Amino acid sequence: MLKGKRIILGISGGIAAYKSVYLLRLLIKAGCEVQVVITPNGKEFITPVTLSSLSGKPVISEFFTANTGEWHSHVDLGLWADAMVIAPATASTIAKMANGVADNMLITTYLSAKAPVFIAPAMDLDMMRHPSTVRNIELLKSYGNHIIDAATGELASHLSGKGRMREPEEIVGELEKFFASGDKLKDKKILITAGPTHEPIDPVRYIGNYSTGKMGYALAEEAARRGAQVTLISGPVSLTANNPAIEVIKVTTAREMLNAAQQSFPEADYAIMAAAVADYAPQNFSDCKIKREKNGIENIPLIKNPDIAMTLGLHKGEDQKVIGFALETDHEFQHAVDKMKRKGLDAIVLNSLRDPGAGFATDTNKITIIFADGHSLEFPLKSKAEVAADILDSVCDCE
Ligand code: C5P
């Protein structure tokens, strides 16, 4: 599974760095090409000679090689890798990663990395539970990084508690699991709607909402990573899709989103409706800016927008599944079930605006997935990237 994978192994300065030698050996044995990047403090714990002998590549630690002046491009490295693993990740490295403090080669590489990043924290128990570390780890999660949570047991300080770096075999296991999911959706076509819609009133005003599109874009990236061909119909957002397997169709209004969705739907195996479609649109568009003083804009006639999810849900083929979202503020579960039935959906992803960290404009979400047969799955607060993986695992039969 790991054969041929290009891995950046980032090592920072903690006693657990000795375990990174075993980790490196396991990765090489599994057929990976490994580039070690070590922090200046890391070198106090483990020598670059050991690491370069095992990896077969010079270890990178400085921005330049002192005698030749050769520049080590963190940008090229970040593009080269299939994954970056930072083990051990000390409290200081975690803090720098969380806050973009780019003062060594490991951090600049991390900031440039396009590949998924796995972080294995290791530190003493008090550092581990300090609110700053807890917050920094949460921040890293919210950026979509994978945290390989520290284990509890005896620590270098001879105290016992949480802070042990996970064993090299376990870290390799996490990587294997991740790469194994890479073709789970091979040959599947997935249509995803994302973002808000804007319904123009006049050249300077529109009806819209606070949706940022983050959940829909995270779903598109995760589906593409699993090998799906993705059509992402996106309302006006400031995000871009990274994976070339994602075809992005940009729209502005609900009508345009419906037209695009209807065009792509016949080909799709799954349609995931993550867009926050405006409920109403102005009946008429005014070519000129409506004057506040003259006509007033307090009485603009509105018309109801088409329901895209319902249009697809009620006309889907036997082999097609349509999944909707429900953002609720009260009687959440019942409202979501009613919505799922009314719109002919196979499942609905419920998030409550009462849950802190859920909903629009956050990097996290807390969801419950309700299925047409009545059963449901509840998940804790996670990054939107992790939530996307949970949704695809649950609704696309690909766990
Ligand atoms: O009815 P409500 O807006 O709460 O429904 C939410 C679900 O329906 C979401 O999946 C959303 O993308 C979809 N929807 C739609 N077209 C609309 C309104 C909602 O596709 N006009």
Q: What is the pLDDT of residue 77?
A: 84
Between the CA of 274 and the centroid of ligand 1 the distance, in Å, is: 8
Which of 283, 269, 147 is CA-nearest to residue 207? 283
Whether residue 319 is predicted with pLDDT greater than 70 in this model: the reply is yes
Is residue 161 within 8 Å of 155, Cβ to Cβ? yes
pLDDT over 90 at 172, yes or no:
yes
Q: How far is the CA of 314 from the centre of ligand 1 (A)?
A: 13
What residue's CA is closest to ligand 1, atom 17? 307
Confidence (pLDDT) at 360 = 67
Q: What percent of the chain has pLDDT over 70?
A: 96
Testing ligand 1's pocket by substitution, the residue of 193, 258, 273, 321 carrying the most ligand atoms inside 8 A of its CB is 273
The whole-number pLDDT of residue 294 equals 67
Average pLDDT estimate for 223-231? 94
**What is the 324 CA–ligand 1 centroid distance (Å)?**
7
Q: Taking all residues of the chain, what is their mean pLDDT, rounded to a whole number?
A: 92
* pLDDT at site 352: 78
How many Å lie between the centroid of ligand 1 and the Cα of residue 247? 22
Tens of pLDDT, residues 41-57 = 999 999 999 999 999 99
Catalytic pick from 209, 243, 295, 305? Answer: 209
Q: Tell me what pLDDT residue 76 has.
A: 83
Residue 12: is its pLDDT beyond 90? yes
pLDDT digits over 359-397, tens only? Answer: 666 778 889 999 999 999 999 988 888 899 999 999 986
Mutate-to-test residue for ligand 1 from 198, 307, 323, highest number of ligand atoms within 8 A of CB: 307
Q: Assess whether pLDDT exceeds 80 at residue 357.
A: no
Q: Are 227 and 186 in contact (CB under 8 A)?
A: yes
What the block records as the tokens of 90 is: 């000390």
- Give catalytic status of residue 209 as yes or no: yes
What sign does the CA torsion over 260, 265, 270, 276 have? positive
Nearest CA to ligand 1 atom 21: 307
Check pLDDT > 80 for residue 68: no
pLDDT value of position 11 = 98
pLDDT tens sequence across 15-33: 999 999 999 999 999 999 9
pLDDT reported for residue 349: 97
Ligand 1: which atom is nearest the Cα of residue 279?
Answer: 21
Higher pLDDT, 156 or 149: 149
Q: What is the pLDDT of residue 119?
A: 98
Q: For residues 13 and 89, is the Cβ–Cβ distance under 8 A?
A: no
Residue type, 290: I
**Contact of 151 with 123, CB cutoff 8 Å:** no
Distance CA 353, CA 336 (A): 13
Tell me how far the alpha carbon of residue 220 lies from the centroid of ligand 1, in angstroms. 18
Whether pTM exceeds 0.75: yes
Q: What is the pLDDT of residue 1?
A: 83
pLDDT cut 90: percent of the chain above it: 75
Q: At 172, phi and psi to the nearest 5?
A: -60, -40
Residues near ligand 1 (Cβ within 6 A)? 193, 254, 273, 275, 277, 305, 307-309, 324-326, 339
Atom of ligand 1 nearest to the CA of 278: 21
Atom of ligand 1 at shortest distance to CA of 325? 10
Q: Over 80: is that where the pLDDT of 247 sits?
A: yes
**Ligand 1 centre and the CA of 187: distance in Å?**
27
CA–CA separation, 382 vs 118, rounded Å? 15
When pLDDT is cut at 50, 70 and 90, the band that residue 296 belongs to is low
